[in-house]
Structure 1
Amino acid sequence: MIELTGWEPLGISVDWAAIEGELGVPLPADYKELYEVFGGGVFSDSLYFLGRDEGPAFDFLTQWRVDLSVDQDSKFADASAVDPYAIYAPGGKGLVEWGSTEWADEYFWLIDAERPGEYPVLARSNDVGGWHRYDMSTSEFLYRVLADADFQPFGIAQYNLGTTFKPGSGDPDGQPL
């Protein structure tokens, strides 16, 4: 991803133990590496990568807390925005969002507290119904979305958007997105 984007690693320090403590499960190692290099922000002006402490728009935990609150709200009965799945609750099994696109594609991990270390990517596209499962790492999925035009329905390389990255908290000169 560094080579693809020409990005200089940021070396962000994160208290992963606190984050994983709240979730009750470890996060994928490659996601943590991606975040420490890039932070939260936008790839190719269209793919939103959630991080930590990047403001509400790019905050991984804030997104998860909101998703969980809505998913567990009793006024929605048994309906779930991620049907047939549920949003992950500590100790259980469900989805945790880590990315999305401006076209309303959504990227999640399917996390099972009883199977730590397994993080299949589940994705759905606004244009193509249903869920797609990918048994690959977060970084491989992200790379394929950005660089592989044949990675359908999620590949965006066909649109010639470039492979840039803009941090959510601002560019290196401190200017916000």
Structure 2
Amino acid sequence: MNAPLEQLTQLIPPPSEPRDKDWDNAERALGVQLPTDYKELIHTYGGSNWDDYLYVLEPGCPNDNYDLIEWEDQQTEALDGLWEFEKKPSELEDERTRVIPWATTDNGECLYWLIRPGQQPDDWTVMVNEARGDRWEHFPHTCTQFLASALTGNLRSTILSSRFPLPVHEFRQLHAM
């Protein structure tokens, strides 16, 4: 277990039943291997809601609204249309760079992995995009580092809600609706 995930398990005890995934199918659908820390996060917590605000996406999520593969398809299409009208953030100017969503919020902000050419999945960092605007933030953290740091208050985003994290953490594993 990686250190940020261990920190999360101390903050919020994980559900008793881990979620096993067919990572080969998910990675084939996305066309990339996924980061090890994300796979461990999903195995431990599954698709989940943190502090009644942030939703971690899961491939094949029991709640279809938070399926990683569906979100990647939708966000790729949405961003392709967006770049026709808005300037890309500097981190995305290289045409070989791409983003894949790994989390969203109840306000519609989206958290992405920033994937640069030649970069290994375990080195991907986090980009946050505001819901209805062109502001982006880049954090040099893995997704699990980002989540743990956000929940402990060691990381602050100007895009995410000022009410996140909650003083007393809440957690919900996502289930079929």
**Structure 2 length-normalised TM:** 0.76
Where does residue 164 of structure 1 map in the other structure?
A: 170
Q: Distance in 2 between matches of 1:165 and 1:130?
A: 28
Pick from 96, 106, 119: which aligns with 2:110? 106
The runs of 5 or more residues in structure 1 that have no matched partner are 171-175
Q: 1:22 to 1:104 in 2, by over 3 A?
A: closer
Change (3 A) 1:2 1:130: same
With over 3 angstroms needed to count, the CA separation of the structure-2 counterparts of 1:135 and 1:16, relative to structure 1, is: same
Query: What amino acid maps onto 1:61 in structure 2?
Result: I
Percent of aligned positions that are identical: 20
Give, as a single letter, the amino acid of the residue that structure 2 aligns with 1:107.
Answer: L
Q: Among 130, 133, 138, which residue is 2:143 paired with?
A: 138
* Structure 1 residues 80 and 143: CA distance shift in structure 2, 3 A: farther
Secondary structure (helix, strand or coil) at the match of 1:169 reads coil
Shift of 1:10: 2.8
How much does 1:18 deviate?
1.7
Distance in 1 between residues matched to 2:68 and 2:77, nearest whole Å: 14
Task: After TM superposition, give the deviation of residue 150 of structure 1 in Å.
Answer: 6.0
Report the count of equivalent residues: 162
User: Could you say if the C-alpha distance between residues 77 and 129 of structure 1 is closer, same or farther in structure 2, counting changes exceeding 3 Å?
Assistant: closer
> Which residue matches 1:43?
50
Aligned mate of 1:116, from 111, 120, 123: 120
Structure 2 residue identity aligned to 1:169? H
TM-score by length of 1: 0.76
Match for residue 64 of structure 1?
Answer: 72
- Counterpart residue type for residue 146 of structure 2: F
1:30 and 2:34 correspond: no
Listed as ranges, the gaps of 5+ residues in structure 2 are 1-7
Name the structure 2 match of 1:3: 10
Aligned to 1:15: 22
Change beyond 3 A, Cα 1:15–1:125: same
Q: In structure 2, do the counterparts of structure 1 residues 25 and 126 end up closer, same or farther at CA, with 3 Å as the change threshold?
A: closer
Partner in structure 1 of residue 4 of structure 2: none
Separation (CA, whole Å) in 1 of partners of 2:136 and 2:19 = 32
Cα shift at 1:129: 5.9
Q: Structure 1 counterpart of 2:67, which letter?
A: D
